[in-house]
Amino acid sequence: MANLQWDIFCKVIDNFGDIGICWRLAAGLAARGERVRLWVDDGSALAWMAPGGQQGVLVLPWTETLDVSCLDTTSSDVLIEAFGCDAAPEFIAARARIGASLAPKDAPKPLWINLEYLSAESYVARNHGLTSLVSSGPAAGSHKVFFYPGFTPGTGGLLREPDLLQRQAAFDRAAWLKQHGIEWRGETLVSLFCYEPPALIQLLDDLTHNGIQAQPVRLLVAAGRATQAVKSLLALKKADDNDQIGLKATNYLHEKLSISYLPLLTQIDFDHLLWASDINFVRGEDSIVRAIWAGKPFIWQIYPQDDGAHGPKLEAFLDLLAAPAGLRAFHRVWNGLSDQKLPPLTHASGWQQTAAKNRAWLAAQPDLTSRLLEYATKNR
């Protein structure tokens, strides 16, 4: 089958997770020879996420009045609306008009895919691949397909580049840390990418006084909300204790804990951060998938929702992992779903087997990009 033209619409809602996932998908499709137009209402984060771009991906602004002149010369074979956003009406109208006027009657029909959020809950497998009739507008009579990323063979899979595990196997941790100015002295490395978990102060106190299994720890704090949260807590501690804790780029707070604040990282370097660390704290959907592929013990801060839907979503994920009791307890406290004290990371080394086992069986499944390509081949 000839390479297809994919149009991905992405609306940046919060924290750049949406654009991060959409960029990985667009770049993955283009790396396999597909042509991609990525329509995004705020593409500013791509300047640091993917400064080199990707051959085959054209990033276009999703403005209030959309310029759809590109459809006059290049058709749209597959339209993806990411995470419940509705593609621009002008695009839908132009796609329907041009398709009806130019395509022969026996030509393959263009696809319309709604790419959903990631979850381990049981409804994902039930709803994956279902269609919905478009009953009105210029595209009336078309069908949208609901495509659910997921963790089981009956879902859409997870984003993964074909060479990801090979690149990790060749990764040089010491060289990467040195390149980024991190003075590693053999401490246990813990990455921190979070929102503002209430238990963060407990984690900082525990690491400061105890380390992990009495060994020193270096906390590698991601730029943005994680850095702001840590610095705010340390500023409060300084005011309360009248101590000499500073807020330089790297500081020794205690003989058991040191902190390095990181700059904004490209997507490639974010992977490197997870590979370099012994334990990873991650948040949202894009980073949890990258933590799974890193194969290291991880703690996930799920995006909190006002209706509490994140609670069952987290439990379903922990069930999928067959997470041991200590890992479950830590997740619940970290996500504000338990009022117990945050357990120490003493047993984190024992979570390595869980991480390795789950990476292995998930890596044996086809990835999301491959499944989308297979679906397009079979259903156009």
CA–CA distance, 18 with 8 (Å, rounded to integer): 12
Is residue 18 annotated as part of the catalytic site, yes or no? yes
Task: Find the catalytic residue in 278, 285, 286, 367.
Answer: 285
Cβ proximity of 118 and 149 under 8 Å: yes
Cβ proximity of 284 and 265 under 8 Å: no
Is residue 90 annotated as part of the catalytic site, yes or no? no
CA–CA distance, 183 with 212 (Å, rounded to integer): 19
Q: Which residues contact 126 (CB under 8 A, 6 or more apart)?
A: none
Location of structure tokens 């478009």: 134
Angle, helices 352-363/310-321, rounded to nearest 10 degrees: 90
Task: Find the catalytic residue in 7, 18, 269, 367.
Answer: 18
CA–CA distance, 220 with 217 (Å, rounded to integer): 10
Q: Give the HSE-up count for residue 288: Cα atoms under 13 Å, Cβ half-sphere.
A: 21
- Beta strands 279-283 and 188-192, pairing class: parallel
State the Cα angle at 153 between 149 and 155, rounded to 5°. Answer: 25
- The residues that are catalytic are 18, 285
